[in-house]
Structure 1
Amino acid sequence: MMKTKTLIYSAAASLLLFAGATAFAHSDEYLDTQKTPNGGQQRMAGIYHFELVVAKDSKEARDNPVIVYVTDHANVKIPTVGAGGTATILAGKQKASVKLVPDGDNRLKGIGKYASTPDMKVVVSLTLAGKPAEQARFTPMAPMAAPAAAKDGHSDHKH
């Protein structure tokens, strides 16, 4: 009887530790420590990761690309055929709404008039074919955090 209780408590403790590590691993702060495949900023959006890539050198508002890559939590590409969405960009005192359309196997793209300001905020809302809409908030021009290996030793973290 005592062994059974110990085993149950051990299993429960392990589950709690795993759940806590998983929650930490998917925080914005953690994602900012990870190198992204396309040089953008990555955020969770439901069961997906969205990676936002914007122009980083546009001093004045002009037509610039907005690209969103979609993967699962293991960074496996999710097809975007039949998907659509918008990126709402707040940069300085300007606001732009960019229509996003499929542009390759796991990406959506649009063109919008924006400047690359340090305070830029972007809200991406996507609907993949047959799925509910998902949304993520980005601060693509904010300084990124230190690499995970230097912070907590989880640079080899896998989902």
Structure 2
Amino acid sequence: MKLSKFVFTALASVAISAASIGGAYAHDDKYFDSIKSPNGGQTRMAGVYHFELVLAPDSKTAKENPVTVYVTDHANKGIATKGATATLTLVQGAKKSTVELVPEGENRFVGKATYASNANLKGALTVTMAGKPAEQARFTPFAMVKKASTKPADKGNTKEAEHAHEHKH
């Protein structure tokens, strides 16, 4: 009897801890749009990954431009992209195009796509990390201008201050 009560208590504790951790680690699009992304792009979370989409900020007309996607974990540590695949579908008005991205360096994908840097550009990223299921993230990289501080987190910037702590997985 005592053993089953102990097992029940232990399982309940684990379930409560898992539920609270899950909520603490999840960030929504609004949160990511309120902070400065490490490489100047737009960041989204999918599964356990953070994907930062970096596009040319100054292409007034649709032309071939670079595309870079950085992959990090919740603590902003790079995750190796070797052996992974990625595609980015861009929609701009009536035009839709899909580009294959290739792993490059430690934790990024690169490619080229035709787009203009304006507010109606939308993107859908699909990434399949080696041996893992596919993850998807949606982007609106030029829809709004970020009002993020470039300074380290301080008491005046509560969103960055709330996130300026170490995460352990």
Which secondary structure state, in structure 1, belongs to the residue aligned with residue 162 of structure 2? Answer: coil
Cα 1:93/1:133, change in 2 over 3 Å = same
Whole-Å separation in 2 of the counterparts to 1:22 and 1:103: 27
Which secondary structure state, in structure 1, belongs to the residue aligned with residue 31 of structure 2? Answer: helix
CA contact (8 A) 2:72 2:107 kept: yes
Superposition map of 1:102-121 within 5 A: 102-121=103-122
Q: Which residue of 2 aligns with 1:125?
A: 126
Whole-Å separation in 2 of the counterparts to 1:151 and 1:101: 37
Equivalent residue pairs, number = 146
Whole-Å separation in 2 of the counterparts to 1:28 and 1:157: 19
Q: Which residue of 1 aligns with 2:162?
A: 154
CA contact (8 A) 1:34 1:155 kept: no
CA contact (8 A) 1:33 1:144 kept: no
Q: Which residue of 1 aligns with 2:53?
A: 52
Whole-Å separation in 2 of the counterparts to 1:20 and 1:106: 26
Identity %: 52
Worse overlay, 72-81 or 112-121: 112-121
Flag structure 2 segments of 5+ consecutive residues without an equivalent: 1-12
Q: Which residue of 2 aligns with 1:64?
A: 65
Cα 1:158/1:94, change in 2 over 3 Å = farther
User: Runs of 4 or more off by more than 3 Å in structure 1?
Assistant: 14-23, 144-153
CA contact (8 A) 1:84 1:128 kept: yes
Give the residue type in structure 2 aligned to 1:45.
Answer: A
Q: Kindly state the Cα deviation for residue 31 of structure 1 after the two structures are TM-superposed.
A: 1.2
Q: Which residue of 1 aligns with 2:77?
A: 76
Q: Which residue of 2 aligns with 1:3?
A: none
Whole-Å separation in 1 of the counterparts to 2:86 and 2:118: 23
CA deviation string 1:75-99 (max 9, x = no partner): 1100011111100001232212111
Q: Which residue of 1 aligns with 2:38?
A: 37
Q: Kindly state the Cα deviation for residue 143 of structure 1 after the two structures are TM-superposed.
A: 1.3
CA contact (8 A) 2:55 2:65 kept: yes
Tell me how large the CA RMSD over aligned residues is.
2.4
Please give the TM-score of this superposition, normalised by the length of structure 2: 0.75
Whole-Å separation in 2 of the counterparts to 1:40 and 1:63: 18
CA contact (8 A) 1:100 1:108 kept: yes
Whole-Å separation in 2 of the counterparts to 1:19 and 1:128: 21
Cα 1:127/1:17, change in 2 over 3 Å = closer
Flag structure 1 segments of 5+ consecutive residues without an equivalent: 1-10
